[in-house]
Amino acid sequence: MRIIKRKRRSSDQARYDSSNQNMNSMEIMEKVPSEKSLDSNLEYIKGKLKDCSDIVYREFFIGEEKEWRLILIYTDGLVDKSFISDFILKSLMFKWDDNIIKEKSAEKIYQNVKNKAVAVADISEIEDLNEALLAVLSGDTVLITDGTNKILKLSTRGWPTRGVEEPNADVLVRGPRDGFTETLRFNTALVRRRIRDPKLKMKAMKIGRRSQTDVVIAYIEDIVNREVLQEVEKRLNSIDIDAVLDSGYIEQLIEDNWKSIFPQVQSTERPDKVTAALYEGRVAILVDNTPFALIVPVTLGTLFQSPEDYYERWLIGTLTRIVRYGASFLAIILPSLYVAFTGFHPGIMPTQLTLFVAGTREDLPFPIVIEVVMMELAFELLREAGIRLPGPIGEAMGIVGGIIIGQAAVQARIVSPLMVIVVATTAIASFAIPSYNLAIAYRIYRFILIVFAALLGLYGVVLGAICILTHLICQKSFGIPYLAHFITYAEGSKKDVIRAPMPSMHKRPGFYTQTNKVRMQDKRKEEFESIEKGGGQDGQQ
């Protein structure tokens, strides 16, 4: 017997020695069956978690004569210590069955601990040491009992969290004030609170070889486009990376065309926006440790929409949406038109305006294109500096800095006053675009159009606009055309370009879902028709 035991210990020792090395990409995913010996399991776990001072090993005994040995393992800072003390340790130390202990059966002791002694709502049974390791590092507590190969995973997560606050990126005048946080379970609860439907599914997975980041795919089962859902799952499962620190990692790894500047995945901090997207048949991706959720697929028209459009009456929503489209046009093309008109085609402008522009540009040292690029870069610098500085200081930097630099440049006769007006109007117009990623894309293409205008004048502006439109037409997001709102006829799509009255929005956008298209029935219309029919019959009688 001693020889057999020694051989087993030598094989165990080899396994534990190998565990002292850093885990490779697949090691944590391999299954390592747990053993009945507590010392053997503990040695393996300690070997993996060597030099981890935040891992706590709480060993104790139950029984008057300390017949049975147990151990709790958890990560300090990721658990609720008071919960462990009150509902696990206290229960195990004082609430055990003497008759079962006297039988000296490890299996009965384990079953008594699992079913009677531990007062934990969420409890599961595992037989894999690597899974136990992942549970400990995720904030759960594992309980190992001597004499059995079954390990209990107890939900005791209690790390510091940020409370639900109003989103900073998606600001609304009218609408809900709650936003996503960095805790995944809080975010799923905010979505579930709005969709009390058993058809709402939330599939969980882990992405990242080392980070093992929790990711949830949310969709409504009888509304979602199945092809899009399968493609989302396929792309997420194909991600092979060490760590996922933010949803931006996943966004860049699952988008259709990584060379395009235009965003192909929508990001938001608002649970109401995610809920509305799920009701349209789209798929949401929630990532732990980030307040930004991802929504796919996305179209250009969707990026111009705001939840506030549907909280206000349809005339107000239509007007604000038209303003956004106009602002986007100014944000991308106004500086290039200024270069083209003043530098190549002054005859297009009215005579008085042409003379005024010529007078303001008298004795200026730089060509028009250098003047435009210089002022655009100055405003971009102010914008970036304002974002990086603390809130009140950043706002003051953006306003005061813009006024001071613009006024100083005009007084120094470096730029013309009209140039400052054009650049300021362009900057303000870019702020009217609801999607931050789309606004950045417009800012980049604005410089490209300026170069085209400097080379070919108005012809260059038209050529650059055609190139951008061609790129947008060829663009897709998870199989959905990027300009589906504008070039594809589908039921419900034309009512999303301009905000339609709520009673007329009977169907979901046809390019998002092919099943369960009807989302509303107008009962008032049926009542009016029945009243009219009744009145007509009375008149005939």
Peptide bond into 271 cis (omega under 30): no
Count the domains in the chain: 3
List, in sequence order, every residue forming a beta bridge with 293; answer none if it has no partner. 268
CA–CA distances in Å: residue 165 to residues 72, 119, 190, 269, 276: 35, 32, 12, 10, 20
Does position 22 have pLDDT exceeding 50, yes or no? Answer: no
Is the pLDDT at 15 greater than 50? The verdict is no
Q: Are residues 438 and 386 in the same domain?
A: yes
One domain, residues 351 and 427 = yes
Q: How far apart are CA 319 and CA 324, in angstroms?
A: 9
**pLDDT above 50 for 470:** yes
Asked if residue 491 is part of any domain, the answer here is no
For 145, the 3-state DSSP assignment is: strand
What is the C-alpha separation between 103 and 63, in angstroms, rounded? Answer: 12
Confidence of residue 163 (pLDDT cuts 50, 70, 90): confident
Q: Is the pLDDT of residue 230 over 90?
A: yes
> Which tokens sit at 285?
């991706």
Same-domain check for residues 390 and 270:
no
φ/ψ of 56, rounded to 5, equals -110, 130
288 lies in the same domain as 314: no
Same domain, 19 and 147: yes
Q: Are the beta carbons of 140 and 153 closer than 8 angstroms?
A: yes
- Band of residue 159 on the pLDDT scale cut at 50, 70, 90: confident
Domain of 325, in residue numbers: 310-486
Phi/psi of residue 330, nearest 5 degrees: -65, -40
31: in domain: yes
Question: Is the pLDDT score of 541 beyond 80?
Answer: no
Query: What distance in Å separates the CA atoms of residue 418 and residue 202, rounded to the nearest whole number?
Result: 54
Same domain, yes or no: 359 and 243: no
Same domain, 149 and 228: no
Mean pLDDT on 246-264: 92
Radius of gyration for the chain, computed over Cα atoms and rounded to the nearest angstrom: 32
130 and 202 share one domain: no
Angle subtended at Cα 78 by Cα 77 and Cα 82, rounded to the nearest 5 degrees: 75
Q: Are 305 and 262 in contact (CB under 8 A)?
A: no
Give me the amino acid identity at 382: L
Average pLDDT, the chain: 83
Cα 301 to Cα 69: distance, rounded to the nearest angstrom: 63
Three state DSSP letters for 393-443: HHHHHHHHHHHHHHHHHHHCCCCCHHHHHHHHHHHHHHHCCCCHHHHHHHH
Q: Which residue has the higher pLDDT, 100 or 492?
A: 100
Nearest to residue 446, comparing CAs of 352, 529, 338? 338
Higher pLDDT: 514 or 45? It is: 45
Amino acid at 477: S
In one-letter notation, the amino acid at residue 122 is: D
Q: Using H for helix, E for strand and C for coil, what is the string for 366-378?
A: CCHHHHHHHHHHH
* SS3 category, 535: helix
pLDDT in tens, 38-47: 999 999 999 9
Examine residue 537 and state whether it is found in any structural domain, yes or no.
no
Do 293 and 314 fall within a single domain? no
Do 389 and 284 belong to one domain?
A: no
Q: Is residue 396 part of a domain?
A: yes
Tell whether 57 and 129 lie within a shared domain.
Answer: yes
Residues 211, 250, single domain; the answer is: yes
- Closest to 472 in 3D by CA, of 263, 291, 186, 276: 263
**Is the confidence at residue 528, as pLDDT, over 60?**
no
Q: How confident is the model at residue 172 (pLDDT cuts 50, 70, 90)?
A: confident
The pLDDT value given to residue 147: 87
Task: Pick the range with the lowest mean pLDDT from 38-47, 98-107, 187-196, 422-431.
Answer: 98-107
pLDDT at 395: 63
Between the two ends of the chain, the Cα-to-Cα distance in Å is 107
Nearest to 375 by CA among 448, 438, 427, 340: 427
- Give the ranges where 116-160 is alpha helix by DSSP (H): 129-137
The pTM score is 0.83
The token pair that represents 56 in the structure block: 């706590």
C-alpha to C-alpha distance for 297 and 283, rounded to whole angstroms: 7
Tens of pLDDT, residue by residue over 352-378, are 888 888 887 777 788 888 888 888 888
Residue 373 lies in a domain: yes
User: What is the distance between the alpha carbons of residues 239 and 285, in angstroms, rounded to a whole number?
Assistant: 14
DSSP H or E segment with residue 205 = strand 200-207
